[in-house]
Structure 1
Amino acid sequence: MAAMSSAILDWLKKLSHALGFDTADSFPPGHQYARTRWAGAYFDIPSDTKADDIERRICEAIANTPLVFAHIENPTPRMQRVLVDVIERRLRQNHEREAAQLAALLIRAYGSPHISEAVPGMRRAIEATEGYEAPARVRALFAFLTDAQNDNVIEMRS
Structure 2
Amino acid sequence: MSLLDTISDGLSWLSRKCGFDTVDSFPPGHQYARTRWNGAYFDIASDLKPEQIERSLCESIANTPLIFAHIVNPTPRMQRALLSVIETRMRRSCGNPVELVALLVNAYRSRHTQEAVPGLRGVIETSGYDTGAVLGYLGAMPAAYDIIDAVS
TM-score surpassing 0.5? yes
- Which residue number in structure 2 is paired with residue 103 of structure 1? 101
Letter in 2 for 1:12: L
CA contact (8 A) 2:82 2:100 kept: yes
Q: Once the two structures are aligned, what percentage of the paired residues are identical?
A: 55
CA separation of 1:151 and 1:4: change in aligned 2, threshold 3 A: closer
Describe the SS at the equivalent of 2:2: helix
> Match of 2:88?
89
**Equivalent residues in 2 for 1:54-133, closer than 5 Å:** 54-97=53-96, 99-130=97-128
Unaligned runs of 5+ in 1: 154-158
Instruction: Tell me the alpha carbon deviations over residues 21-57 of structure 1, each in whole angstroms, 9 at most, x when there is no partner.
Output: 1101111111111111111221111011011111111
1:39 equivalent in structure 2:
38
Does the C-alpha gap of structure 1 residues 150 and 42 become closer, same or farther in structure 2, counting only changes over 3 Å?
Answer: closer
State which structure, 1 or 2, has the greater radius of gyration over its C-alpha atoms. 1
CA deviation map 1:50-88 (0-9, x unaligned) = 111111111000000001100100000010011011011
Q: Describe the shift of the 1:150–1:10 C-alpha distance in structure 2 as closer, same or farther (beyond 3 A).
A: closer
TM-score, normalised with respect to structure 2: 0.88
**1:58 alignment partner, SS class:** helix
More helix by share: 1
Q: TM-score, normalization: structure 1?
A: 0.85
Runs of 4+ with deviation above 3 angstroms: 150-153
Please tell me the root mean square deviation across aligned C-alpha atoms, in Å: 1.8
- 1:156 aligned partner: none
Specify whether residues 9 and 74 from structure 1 end up closer, same or farther in structure 2 by C-alpha distance, changes over 3 A only. same
Give the drift of 1:4. 2.5
Amino acid in structure 2 at the alignment position of 1:57: S
Query: Shift of residue 150 of structure 1?
Result: 5.4
Give the secondary structure class of the aligned counterpart of 1:28: coil
Residue 27 to residue 127, structure 1, CA distance change in 2 (3 Å): same
- Write the mapping of 1:6-17 to structure 2, written as runs, cut at 5 A: 6-17=5-16
Write the deviation string for residues 103-156 of structure 1: whole angstroms up to 9, x where unpaired. 1000000000001000001111000122x6xxxx11101111123325689xxx
Matched residues, number: 146
Gaps of 5+ in 2: 147-152
